[in-house]
């Protein structure tokens, strides 16, 4: 399995699939998952002739479980190291949830020299938590509840999330997939407790407003209007207004995991945007 040794000695696991000479599409996963969460999109695009790259964020999946550095500044610097190593250029970056924050801050900090387009899928920007300047955000007690649940019984909490709001399986008449639930739990439990715990603050309290304003390439925002984890009102609808070249597609009835549930629709939307 391919690993990149980073500047501090940590090893970053990554997948590099498809046509080695094809256009590049990169994927950043959400909390507390791994690159495995993008497998449907990666296989689809690889079969279309693209080179698809995804990594397990440090502390997640198969990457080194570092004690420190579980924050957005470190994550995007790791990603820049990976892009240099793999000679990424003219890429399309795709990020889901916390990974959408990673894409946004990467572009805000490291610029768009390697990237021609980006896609934010049910992503956390611009800011999730409620503050004086962000009164529509979620109360801090929501995220305190996450931390309390992790301390009490992480394994059960990591079953409750996919059985409920993540995939929208708590909605009436939802077609529940035990496979999706098990896959989410497996990925989540492979992430270190410390990383998963620290990242609750990272995805909820990081303000991506200025990053969004700096991005000068086209960005497609995909968001479900029934996202119970990152409500569209505080995220997608705001992000598209801050982006210089942002466009929005709303998935009617879509959950937080549209790329896992509305697989064909998301795949085709990605392909259309990449080709366009």
Distances (CA, A) of 202 to 67, 72, 97, 258: 15, 7, 12, 22
Strand partners, 219: 118, 246
* Residue 77 annotated in active site: no
Q: Residue 12 in contact with residue 78, Cβ under 8 Å?
A: yes
Considering the candidates 202, 211, 227, 269, report the single residue annotated as catalytic: 227
Catalytic residue among 195, 256, 259, 269: 256
Q: Which of 28, 97, 235, 255 is catalytic?
A: 97
- Residue of 98, 46, 116 whose CA lies nearest to 107: 116
d(CA 140, CA 122): 20
Cα(207)–Cα(128) distance, integer angstroms: 8
**Most distant CA atoms of the chain, gap in Å:** 49
Per the annotation, the verdict on 226 as an active-site residue is: no
Pairwise CA distance, residues 122 & 274, whole Å: 18
| Tokens (6 digits) for 240 | 């598209």
Q: How far apart are CA 141 and CA 148, in angstroms?
A: 10
227 is annotated as an active-site residue: yes
Region of residue 65 (left: phi > 0; alpha: psi -120 to 50; beta: else): beta
Task: Sheet containing 219-224: give its strands across.
Answer: 3-5, 11-18, 51-55, 24-28, 91-96, 115-121, 219-224, 246-251
> What amino acid positions are annotated as catalytic residues?
97, 227, 256
């Amino acid at each position: 399995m391919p690993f990149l040794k980073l500047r501090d000695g940590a090893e970053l696991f990554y997948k590099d699939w498809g046509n080695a000479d094809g256009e590049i599409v990169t994927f950043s996963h959400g909390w507390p998952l791994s690159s495995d969460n993008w497998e449907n999109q990666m296989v689809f695009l690889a079969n279309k002739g693209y080179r698809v790259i995804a990594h397990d964020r440090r502390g997640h999946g198969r990457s080194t479980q570092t004690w420190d550095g579980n924050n957005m500044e470190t994550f995007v610097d790791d990603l820049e190291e990976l892009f240099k190593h793999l000679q990424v250029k003219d890429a399309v970056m795709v990020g889901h949830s916390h990974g959408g924050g990673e894409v946004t801050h990467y572009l805000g900090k490291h610029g768009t020299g390697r990237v021609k387009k980006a896609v934010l899928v049910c992503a956390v920007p611009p800011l999730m938590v409620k503050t004086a300047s962000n009164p529509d955000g979620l109360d801090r007690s929501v995220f305190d509840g996450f931390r309390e649940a992790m301390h009490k019984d992480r394994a059960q909490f990591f079953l409750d999330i996919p059985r409920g709001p993540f995939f929208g399986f708590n909605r009436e008449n939802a077609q529940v997939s035990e496979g999706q639930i098990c896959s989410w739990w497996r990925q989540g439990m492979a992430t270190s407790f410390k990383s998963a715990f620290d990242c609750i603050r990272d995805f909820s309290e990081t303000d991506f407003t200025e990053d969004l304003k700096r991005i000068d390439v086209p960005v497609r925002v995909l968001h479900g209007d029934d996202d119970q984890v990152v409500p569209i009102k505080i995220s997608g609808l705001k992000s598209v207004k801050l982006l210089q070249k942002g466009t929005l597609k709303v998935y009617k009835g879509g959950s937080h995991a549209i790329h896992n549930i509305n697989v064909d629709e998301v795949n085709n939307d990605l392909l259309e945007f990449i080709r366009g």
